[in-house]
Amino acid sequence: MIAKQNVEAALAVVYDPCSVQANAPLSVVNMGLVTGIDIDAHGSVRVHLRPTSPWCTMIGCIMQAVEDEVGKLKGVRDVTVEIDRSSLWSEADLTDQGRQILQGARAISRTIRPVRRRQWQERAEETSEV
């Protein structure tokens, strides 16, 4: 029988493409996107994922990566990924490790591109005066 811990380990290397693009790479596990894992005695694995938003355009890529990584496990006959729309994702769903990664990326971002409060208004006013 396939151990749930092995499936979770495979999912830990599947990254959300948007978080990677934002320089805060988070796995689907750290993001809290995995809502369930079902494993039967014949080697079929079903993974339930919630998208980050109802209009997430990257969910297909994430689903394919889940199928690929879980499918590499010894004893896995087939992998099915289902979208779980029973709850909406929020930042509260991040694991502690995911939250630390995100906070670290935000801290680095603030040092690279400091933003002052209402900075966007100052630029709009400068543009309109010209």
> Is residue 38 a contact partner of residue 45, using CB atoms and an 8 Å limit?
yes
pTM higher than 0.85: no
> Is residue 24 a contact partner of residue 105, using CB atoms and an 8 Å limit?
yes
CA 127 to chain centre: 38
- Supply the pLDDT for residue 1: 82
* Distances 77 to 25, 42, 58, 95 between C-alpha atoms, Å: 29, 7, 25, 29
- Supply the pLDDT for residue 88: 87
Query: What is d(CA 91, CA 85) in angstroms, rounded to the nearest whole number?
Result: 16
Query: What is d(CA 91, CA 102) in angstroms, rounded to the nearest whole number?
Result: 10
Superfamily of the domain at 4-129:
Fe-S cluster assembly (FSCA) (3.30.300.130)
> Is residue 33 a contact partner of residue 49, using CB atoms and an 8 Å limit?
yes
- Supply the pLDDT for residue 119: 63
Query: pLDDT per position in the chain (130 positions), as tens?
Result: 899 999 999 999 999 999 999 888 999 999 999 999 999 999 999 999 999 998 899 999 999 999 999 999 999 999 999 999 998 899 999 999 999 999 998 888 888 876 666 666 666 566 666 5
- Supply the pLDDT for residue 86: 92
Token pair belonging to 53 = 């938003």
- Supply the pLDDT for residue 124: 59
